[in-house]
Chain A
Amino acid sequence: MPDSPRLKTLQGQFFDLVRRPLDDRFRMSSLPRSGRLSQKSVQQLVKPNQKMTSSERLEIYARQYWFRVLDSLIEDYPGVRAILGAAKFDSLIEAYLVKFPSRSHTLRNLGNRFPAFLTRHASLQNARGRAAADMARLEWAKIEAFDEAELPLLQPETLAAGRMPRIRVQPHLRLLSLSYPVDEWLVKLNREEWRAEASNAVAAGGRRRRAAAGAPVLRRKNVCVVVHRHEFRPYFKRLDREAFVLLQELQKGRSFESAVQSALKIKRHSNVWWQNHLRQWFAEWSALGWLASRGK
């Protein structure tokens, strides 16, 4: 039994009415005459005034809700929208929000289940759908890379000393094995870096429609991509498969020796090749700030 049962009922009823999907003209869709969510229930819940009916007053909140959450996903996933087209994308994000309403205090996390939603969606089991799911993974990784934690950097002298260091990959690194080169497509979209901030203001002009770029040509190509933060900005970087596996193993918490053993299994190379590449990779990753010390 909640502490405030009548309040809980009123709030639940109000929110259920507000988050019913809008119709094609962004109006509250029609309600049945009776029942828990009905024309009668709106009249019982919300006072009319001299200028507006109960439904019209509630509709202001319904439109604010949908504009806010839809805009947030449009802002977070411009690449997916470019691949699928605006109409398909808009219907998918509405279905996503009905199935997965926000569970976080911040809109930053609103799209965290969108990549998995696309992967499983029945209408996306084709090349375009798989490319869209890859793009969603990349765009979500970019959001995470922007503000995830950063640990103290592994000092270069630790590596130079030739010791087997206890290495940890920075928490902001995201390692993605993709079937389509969506990183190239996203760079072409040239979207602005900053997400909108939270505020208590209300968007006045309805949904912001970002002009969708032309849909990219879909050519399958397996790529290994690291999404990382450097000097406070997110970047993408492609890696060889061997280097990618090595980083994946380190990210799982494996020791340096164990991670290298896993990478060695990818492809046969000479000892000299491995020595040179390991030296080169670690120098580069260290310079990019990807590596942190795991401590004593």
Chain B
Amino acid sequence: MGANRFNQFSSLGVGIGLRVPHYRHILAEKPDVSWFEIISENYMVDGGRPLQVLDRIMEQYQVVQHGVSLYLGNADPFNRTQLKQLKQLVRRSKTPWISDHLCWGSVNGDCSHDLYPMPYTKEGVRCAARKIRQLRDYLEIPVAVENVSSYAEFNASTMTEWEFLTEVVEMADCGILLDVNNIYVSSVNHGFDPHTYVDYVPAERVAQIHIAGHSRYERFIIDTHDHPVIDPVWKLYEQAIRRSGPTPTLLEWDAKIPSFDEVHNEALKAVRYLESCGQPEKTELSHA
């Protein structure tokens, strides 16, 4: 595992999110990075510097697309114009897989630009799975869905988040982008054991892992991506790769972005875990 059909059997190792403050350094110094994750929406434009930089980065590096606005859990249908733009970028970037969040974020075309948690219901499972299948069929590449951080839960929920995620990916037959920082954030905000979550999800479907930092307040944690990864999140990461094997891993750092070297060094801590994870534990193929 680690390399599987949901990431086109990639063994990419540890990557970094491509961010504007680092453009100059990356283009000039060509640092030794396995791959870069790009936020699709930042490059779904018709021209100018974003695409010029992307083309230059692609001359040197593999890029993988990650989205923030598909809203795979929206009750509303996809925006077709947005999908066409996304497919153009997929063809340009040659991303081996694409990921976005298992969440919703717009209603009747009005967009929140946020990632809202789903009501964990059977109806939500069917809706999200249907849309993920539509997306995969349209883009013709594997899709992985990411668990989001959340600060509220719907009373309507009839199952846990990890049960919901598992049902969705099995019904959609898609991959998981397992964000272990998001699991930690949500576990503190909702009071569950994050290790139960990691142990439950189908390891053979984990296409990619996200690690990141966050901000702790008195009564809750916010997923700010502006700090180094904390030890409890590294422990969850270790647990995740022990189950899924050496999985492509990405450090997110989106605010108060330090120097490239500082971000890179933080990401490289994951290499130590990957090198020591060995063979994955045997897991059941499905919870179904």
Contact = CB atoms under 8 A, between A and B. Distances in A.
A102 B73 CA distance: 19
A93 to B, nearest CB: 15
Given A14-B116, A52-B219, A148-B46, A201 B224 contact: yes
Contact of B154 (A10, A69, A147, A199): A10
Interface string A237-254: 000000000000000000
Contact of A50 (B19, B20, B191): B191
Contacts of A45: 154-156
A33 interface: no
Contact of A148 (B47, B115, B252): B47
Contact of A103 (B69, B110, B155, B189): B110
Contacts of B112: 15, 18-19, 65, 102
Contacts of B82: 105
A69 B107 CA distance: 16
Nearest to A109: B111
A16 B25 CA distance: 43
A34 interface: no
Contact of B46 (A5, A58, A64, A149): A149
Given A8-B75, A11-B107, A57 B152 contact: yes
Interface in A152-173: 171-172
A199 B254 contact: yes
B255 interface: yes
A105 B116 CA distance: 15
A56 to B, nearest CB: 8
Given A46-B152, A60-B152, A69 B113 contact: yes
Nearest to A47: B153
B269 interface: no
B42 interface: yes
A289 to B, nearest CB: 12
B220 A52 contact: yes
A1 B206 CA distance: 35
Interface in B132-170: 148-149, 151-157
A194 to B, nearest CB: 5
B190 A201 contact: no
Interface string B72-116: 011110010010000000000000000001001011111111111
Nearest to B151: A60
B114 A194 contact: no
A147 B121 contact: no
B45 A147 contact: yes
9 contacts: A45-B154, A45-B155, A47-B153, A61-B114, A102-B112, A103-B111, A146-B48, A198-B113, A200-B252
